[in-house]
Amino acid sequence: MNDLPFSFSGQDLRALGTGALWWPNRNLLCVSDLHLGKSERMARRGGPSLPPYDSQDTLTRLAADIDRTGAQTVICLGDSFDDLDALAALGTAEKLSLTTLQAGRQWIWIEGNHDPGPIGLGGSHLAEYTAAPLVFRHIAQPGGQSEVSGHYHPKTRLKARGRTITRPAFLLDHDRLILPAYGTYTGGLLSSENVLIDLMSDQAMAILTGSYPQIIPMPR
């Protein structure tokens, strides 16, 4: 399993190369911003036509991470669906995949700005969830501590061997951990954008996702 171990708020965590967060001592897997149904939502609103396979691809990757880790608790950290109509339009195969993934484990849907309403697909629907000492919520709050969040789809851009590389990334400092987006068709916000610079401390680090996750000072 390609992952990078790190410590946050006194806990031993692992950043998976897929963008998922693994907490071995709690047998807990956390993913953020699945944005299931994005291709359907874009077509419905007259946007670009994208191949309608994003939801199943996202769920297939999630199933692989659950299988690798053996997670007994799964937290979906908000914006799991691109909007509530996309949730309603989710296909039978995707709903069956979710039902299968939920079977025999605790499943927690955290409310996001794209999917604020109840999710009638099993599991618990919460504004935030605490597994002490960590607090899981969708959007980082000013003054938050031991906070795990998503929302911003952070990514980094750096030069390596004469070429520019852009990768989704975890952002980490003493108080907060921001997860990258997990969904197949999700974009990202560069860590050099002011909103992320303002949120993260000067000592913040970025954990780059991919086949070989690596940790670097957060590019600004």
Instruction: Report pLDDT digits (tens) over 157-209.
Output: 988 778 898 999 999 999 999 999 999 878 899 999 999 999 999 999 999 99
- pLDDT score of 40 more than 70: no
Alpha helices in the chain (DSSP H): 38-44, 54-69, 84-88, 92-102, 194-199
Instruction: Give residue 92's pLDDT.
Output: 84
Chain segment 51-65, per-residue pLDDT in tens: 566 788 899 999 999
- Other beta carbons within 10 Å of 195: 10
Q: Considering the entire predicted model, what is its pTM? A: 0.93
Mind listing the domains of the chain with CATH numbers? 3-217 (3.60.21)
pLDDT given for residue 207 in this prediction: 98
Strands 21-23 and 28-31: antiparallel
Evaluate if residue 39 carries a pLDDT over 60. no
Position 93 scores a pLDDT of 87
Average pLDDT, the chain: 90
Among 83-97, 122-136, 152-166, name the most confident range: 122-136
| Of 27, 121, 114, residue with least CA distance to 74 | 27
- Show the beta-strand stretches assigned E in the chain: 3-8, 11-16, 21-23, 28-31, 73-76, 106-110, 124-126, 129-131, 134-136, 147-149, 154-160, 163-172, 176-178, 189-190, 205-208, 214-217
